[in-house]
Amino acid sequence: MKVTSVEKKEKSTVELTIQVEAEAFEAAIQKVYLKNRGRINVPGFRKGKAPRKIIEGMYGSGVFYEDAINDVYPAAYEEAVKEQGLDDVGYPKMEIVEAGKEGFTFKALVSVRPEAKLGEYKGLTAPKEEVEVTEKDIDEELKPYIDRATRLVSVKRKAKKGDTAVIDFEGFDNGTPFEGGKGENYDLKLGAGMFVPGFEEQVIGMKAGEEKDIDITFPEDYHADLAGKAVVFHVKVNEVKESQSPEVDDEFAKDVSEFETLADFRKDLGEKLQARKEAQAKADFENAVLEQLVENMECEIPDGMVESQTDRLMDDYAMRLQSQGIPMDQYMSMMGMTPEMMRASAKPAALKQVQVELALTAVAKAESIEVSDEECEAEVAKLAEQYNMPAEQVKAVVSVDSLKKDLSLRKANDLVLSSAKEGEKPAAKKDGEKPKRSRTKKAEEPKEEAAE
C-alpha cells in the first residue's frame, strides 16, 4: 500500500488516493478464488476443481475483483490513515479509481477531528426558572392516588354523562345484523366519545332494564362497508354505574401511603415535587449554558462524525429496547416508522452531542486539564461498584485512554458550569450578527433545500 496523494477538502475532510500494489491484490484474488470455487460450476470439471484461469476465461478476468477489493481495502485504508497521522472520526467515502493486474487504486474521503475555535466559555449567563410548588400542584400530585381509589358503584337512576352504562347492543343495516355491530355487557363510559357520534348521547337518560332502538348514521370517513350509512342499534341497559371518589382525609392517606395524616402526605408530595422541579430547572439551566458554549464556537463538523454518533445512538436505543424484550424492528412497526425515519429523528441529538464534545475538548485543551492515574483508578473502582464486577474486568472493557478522555470532558464541563451565572441570555452582537455556530452541511445548503 502507498498513498499517492493527500488533499484537504471542506468541512474537516481529507481525500487520500491509495494504491494497493499488484502482489497484495493478487494474493487477495487468489484467496477469493479458493473461497468461492466450490460454488462455481464449470463444464468438464468436478465442482470446486476448476482452475482459476478457466473461470476467469468464462466470466472475465475481473470476476473476483470486487470481492478481493472488499477484502483488502479496509486494512489498506487503516494503514494509510495511520501513516498520515489522521484522527479518523467517521465513516470514509470510498471510490474505486482503477483495478487491474497492476493492483488497484481507490480514493477515500476521511472525516478528521475538527479543530474547534472557542469563543467565550467562562462566565456565561442563562435564565434559570424560579421553582415554586403551589397547593394546586400538590392537588395534581394527589390526583393519581384518588383515581386509583375511585370505584364504580351501581345506582338506581337514569344514566347521565360521566356514568358507565353496562349495555347489550346489536346493529342492523336494513334489518340485517352487520359484522362487528354486536356486544354484550359492554362497559360504555358516557361522554368519552368511544362509540359512533350520536350513540352515547341517546343512551343518556336510560335506566337499568330499559331497551330501545337508536338511529345512527355512520360518518363518511368510516370504513368502507358502513361509511355514510343509516343504521339502527337495539340497545338494552343492564346496569348504570357512577364513579365514587374516596373521602380525601387522614384515613385515605393511611390507605395509600406510609403517612398517618393527610397533611404529612401532602407535605411529602410537595417536597418530592419541589426536588423534581429544582432538578429539572438545574438541568435546563446547564443545557442552556452548554448551548451558548456551542454557539460561541467556530467549528466545521464533518458529516461522517455525525453519522457515526447517530449509529451509536441507534445501537444504544436498540439495546435498551431489547432489554425490555422489544426487538427494534417490532418497535418500528408499532410506531409506523422506517429505519430512515428513526435515523432522521436521532440526528439532531447526535449533532448536539458531537458539538458539545468538541467544545468541551477545546475547553480542556485551553485550560490544560489533565487526569491523573489516581483519578482513573478511583473511577474504575466506582464503575466496578456500580456494575458489581471486579476492577480488572472494568479495565478490560473500558480503555484507560477513553476513561481519561471522559474524565477530562467532565472536568471541562464542571469548569464551564461552575463559572456560569443566572441571568438573561446575551443579546446578539451590536451589528445584529448572531453568535457563530458550529457548521454542518445542512447549514450551508441553499434556503430552499434546507426548508425542504
pLDDT value for 194: 87
Q: Which fold has domain 151-244?
A: Chitinase A; domain 3 (3.10.50)
pLDDT, tens only, 127-167: 999 999 999 999 999 999 999 999 999 999 999 999 999 99
pLDDT, tens only, 435-447: 444 444 433 433 3
pLDDT value for 440: 44
Report the amino acid identity of residue 68: A
Q: Which fold has domain 263-451?
A: Trigger factor, domain 2 (1.10.3120)
pLDDT value for 451: 32
Report the alpha-carbon distance of residue 232 to residue 69 in Å, rounded: 72
SS3 258: coil
Residue 1 clears pLDDT 90, i.e. is over it: no
pTM of the model as a whole? 0.70
Distance of CA 285 to CAs 243, 272, 291, Å?
43, 20, 10
Nearest residue to 381 (alpha-carbon basis) of 373, 372, 392, 391: 391
CATH superfamily of the 2-111 domain: Trigger factor ribosome-binding domain (3.30.70.1050)
Report the alpha-carbon distance of residue 226 to residue 180 in Å, rounded: 11
Residue 427 clears pLDDT 90, i.e. is over it: no
Residue 181 clears pLDDT 60, i.e. is over it: yes
**164-178, 311-325, 388-402: the lowest-pLDDT one:** 388-402
Domain coordinates in residue numbering, the chain: 2-111, 151-244, 263-451
Helix (H) or strand (E) holding 420: none
* Average pLDDT of the segment spanning 17-45: 91
* Average pLDDT of the segment spanning 373-395: 90
The three three-digit cell numbers of residue 21, written as one number: 500494489
DSSP collapsed to 3 states, 33-79: HHHHHHHCCCCCCCCCCCCHHHHHHHHCCCCCHHHHHHHHHHHHHHH
